[in-house]
Homo-oligomer: A and B are copies of this chain.
Amino acid sequence: MKPGSSAIQMTNAGLEAARPVTAYDEHGQPVVRNIAAERPLTLYLDRQEIVTLMTLGTQPELLILGYLRNQGLVENLADIIAVQVDWEVEAAAVTTRNGNVENMLEKLSHRIVTTGCGQGTIFGQLQANLNRIRLAPQPLRQSTIYELLANLRHYNEIYKQAGAVHGCALCLDSDILFFCEDVGRHNAVDTIAGHMWLHDMEGRDKIFYTTGRLTSEMVIKAAQMEIPVLLSRSGITQMGLDMARKTGMILISRAKGKHFLIYNGHDKMIYDARPRH
């Protein structure tokens, strides 16, 4: 076991992601469709209520770990004694070694006022952190992108069944090391961050894939994990692009089939698999 991770008492409270319900189609006929779960999970950090996340609920412990890390609420994994999820009360209780509620409240009150995202997470502090991050991506082969996209076809299970979720993958070259889906794309990223933290994985040699859009917060979070390549099936925003330029991240959008668009890092690309015109 990795240092730290062995010591954490964790539940394993993942729930089913989808379930069938009856809808009516354009012929007025009943049809059975799977729909994605969405569950509130309220985080209590040393008994202090922090936030309610709306989640698919398949990997709540990793989500909570990643949330704590990405929000800067806990700095060292070794400080965490337990992560205990109890769906009966829709709560995740996190116990730390030096539970200091007052200190936490101070952190939190600072956090509120800088809160951003779709409408959500910390912003000001993240942007400050970003100015310190310089990524150094290795050259990236076009063939690697295609292999990775081909490998991803076996994932996105819940999306295929039920839609209404975003998927994220942590990849080493074209190998998918970890994949997760959630109703919120920020949750999916946080779950990956939780997995990396728990298993002491570094981001420098990884590729991050998401089905979601490349907005500022996606780029910030990937950069915080020191992942130098961010690949998406969807589009990008100006601010996502600005932040990729600032950190030196390779930013690729609209990656699907043989198509993609390199928005940043063209000079790092090796076009070794150009499709025929």
Contacts and interface: CB of A to CB of B under 8 A. Distances in A.
Chain B CB within 10 Å, residue with most, of A23, A123, A162, A190: A23
Contacts of A51: 112-113, 115-116, 119
Contacts of A1: none
A117 B79 CA distance: 28
A194 interface: no
Interface in A167-190: 183-187, 190
B40 A116 contact: yes
Interface in A125-166: 142, 162-164
Contacts of A261: 23-25, 31, 33
A39 interface: yes
A27 B263 contact: no
Contacts of A67: 119
Contact of A54 (B33, B184, B216, B259): B216
Interface string A103-128: 00000110111111111110110000
A215 B24 contact: no
Interface stretch (A2-10, A91-99, A202-210, A230-238): A230-238
Contacts of A260: 25-26
A229 to B, nearest CB: 15
Interface in A16-35: 19, 21, 23-28, 31, 33, 35
A162 B235 contact: yes
Contact of A119 (B187, B254, B262): B187
Contact of A120 (B21, B109, B118, B271): B118
Contacts of A40: 116, 123, 216, 239
B238 A19 contact: yes
Contacts of A239: 37-40, 54
Contacts of A118: 54, 117-120, 183-187
Interface of A: 19, 21, 23-28, 31, 33, 35-40, 49-54, 67, 108-109, 111-121, 123-124, 142, 162-164, 183-187, 190, 213-217, 234-241, 253-254, 258-263, 266, 269, 271, 274-275, 277
15 contacts: A25-B261, A28-B266, A35-B236, A35-B241, A36-B237, A54-B117, A54-B217, A54-B239, A108-B112, A109-B109, A109-B112, A118-B120, A118-B185, A164-B234, A183-B215
